[in-house]
């Protein structure tokens, strides 16, 4: 048994078709992906175009494991998507070799961070990846099922204070640049910024907002995306989109530091989720679930979701490596 690791190109991607299709079949059930990934032909094309990258671990001459990643140039980050092996034999050793190769192949002058959400069974590797210099943060996924009568009752009965000195408005492009600054101020010192460096700069926050408003993260629900204004200046926000026709997501919610602990998050979340529920009742949306992710250590955020009928479904480890 002799392991070796090589970069994969589009030209020889056919060699790992079996591994990729095995990963594809397990992405949802084993790794906890919300949706099935792209098919092999699309994956191979993405490799050729440089949209995705991959490392392959060989056992002698036989492909055994893959590590798939992409590069975000705007925040100089490698986004590690998944590590998958055909068998669990020597899985820690194989994962270690792939991670070490990724680090060694990376130029620290161009990349400053590896970000790796360890979804599903990948979380079992968390205690080993720290020995390679990775740090860990815990994330919690909350879900509000619209057919859950208990959640609906909690949501309906939850009284949230209306901020009388602030103005509620739906999302409008005229607030774009102000919202970029607001997102930066709200997230630059949070756990999210440890593994998503975009929050550390205005250009990065502009990229986040663009991906929300240009439907990259899913179709934006403009009627369910709100801002709170103080003298026409945004001080709090809650965005909503559709991950699929049946699933709505709250990708970002936050406020300026001086407005924390005033219940603005709960107020905006109820406005956003309430709008989605109304549109479902009216037959304008087919949503059956609203979900959101928050840092497990953020007790205020965890309480906010629970108080409105959201239920914690699963938690996972988000690891990151700083060069």
At 266-299, the pLDDT tens digits run: 999 999 999 999 999 999 999 999 999 999 999 9
pLDDT over 80 at 113, yes or no: yes
Note the CATH architecture for domain 3-133.
3-Layer(aba) Sandwich (3.40)
Predicted local confidence at residue 10, as pLDDT: 86
Tokens for 234? 């945004």
Which burial class, exposed, middle or buried, applies to 159 when counting CB atoms under 10 A from its CB (0-12, 13-18, 19+)? Answer: exposed
Predicted local confidence at residue 67, as pLDDT: 99
User: Taking residues 92-111, what's their average pLDDT?
Assistant: 98
Comparing C-alpha atoms, which of 106, 130, 101 is closest to residue 118?
130
- The per-residue pLDDT of the chain, averaged, comes to 97
pLDDT tens-digit series, residues 187-220: 999 999 999 999 999 999 999 999 999 999 999 9
Tokens for 272? 């956003």
Give 3-state DSSP helix, strand, coil % of the chain, rounded to 5.
40, 30, 30
Tokens for 41? 């032909």
Superfamily of the domain at 140-313? Gcn5-related N-acetyltransferase (GNAT) (3.40.630.30)
Q: How far is it, in rounded angstroms, from Cα 103 to Cα 110?
A: 12
pLDDT over 90 at 98, yes or no: yes
pLDDT tens-digit series, residues 210-249: 999 999 999 999 999 999 999 999 999 999 999 999 999 9
Residue position matching structure tokens 């026709």: 245
Buried b (16+ CB within 10 A) or exposed e, 117-149: bbbbebbebbeebeeeebebeebbbbbbbbeee
Strands 113-118 and 77-85, by their bridges, are parallel
User: CA dist 235 to 179, 204, 289, Å?
Assistant: 8, 19, 28
Q: Parse the chain into domains and list their residue ranges.
A: 3-133, 140-313
Rg of the Cα atoms in the chain: 21
Q: How far is it, in rounded angstroms, from Cα 37 to Cα 21?
A: 10
Q: How far is it, in rounded angstroms, from Cα 310 to Cα 314?
A: 12
pLDDT over 80 at 165, yes or no: yes
Predicted local confidence at residue 252, as pLDDT: 98
pTM: 0.93
Q: How far is it, in rounded angstroms, from Cα 158 to Cα 309?
A: 9
- Whether 3-133 shares its CATH topology with 140-313 is answered yes
């Amino acid at each position: 048994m002799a392991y070796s690791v090589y970069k994969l190109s589009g030209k020889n991607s056919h060699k790992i078709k079996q591994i990729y299709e095995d990963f594809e079949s397990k992405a949802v059930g084993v790794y906890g992906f919300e949706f099935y990934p792209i098919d092999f032909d699309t994956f191979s094309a993405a490799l050729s175009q440089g949209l995705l990258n991959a490392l392959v671990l060989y056992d002698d001459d036989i492909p055994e494991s893959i590590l798939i990643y992409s590069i975000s140039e705007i925040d100089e980050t490698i986004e590690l998507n998944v590590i998958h092996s055909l068998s669990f034999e020597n899985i820690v050793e194989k994962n270690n070799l792939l991670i070490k190769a990724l680090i060694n192949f990376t130029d620290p002058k161009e990349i400053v961070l590896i970000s790796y959400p360890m979804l599903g069974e990948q979380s079992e590797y968390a205690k080993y990846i720290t020995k390679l210099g990775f740090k860990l943060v815990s994330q919690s996924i909350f879900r509000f099922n619209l057919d859950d009568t208990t959640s609906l009752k909690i949501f309906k009965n939850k009284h949230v204070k209306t901020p009388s000195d602030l103005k509620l408005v739906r999302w409008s492009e005229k607030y774009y640049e102000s919202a970029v600054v607001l997102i930066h101020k709200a997230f630059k010192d949070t756990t999210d910024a440890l593994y998503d460096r975009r929050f550390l700069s205005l250009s990065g926050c502009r990229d986040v907002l663009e991906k929300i408003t240009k439907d990259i993260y899913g179709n934006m629900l403009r009627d369910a995306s709100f801002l709170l204004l103080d003298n026409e200046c945004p001080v709090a926000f809650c965005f909503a989109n559709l991950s699929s026709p049946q699933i709505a997501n709250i990708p970002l919610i936050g406020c300026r530091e001086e407005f924390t602990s005033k219940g603005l998050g709960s107020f905006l979340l109820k406005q956003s989720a309430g709008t989605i529920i109304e549109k479902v009742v009216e037959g304008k949306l087919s949503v059956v679930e609203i979900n959101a992710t928050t840092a497990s250590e953020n007790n205020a955020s965890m309480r906010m979701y629970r108080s409105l009928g959201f239920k914690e479904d699963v938690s996972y480890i988000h690891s990151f490596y700083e060069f």
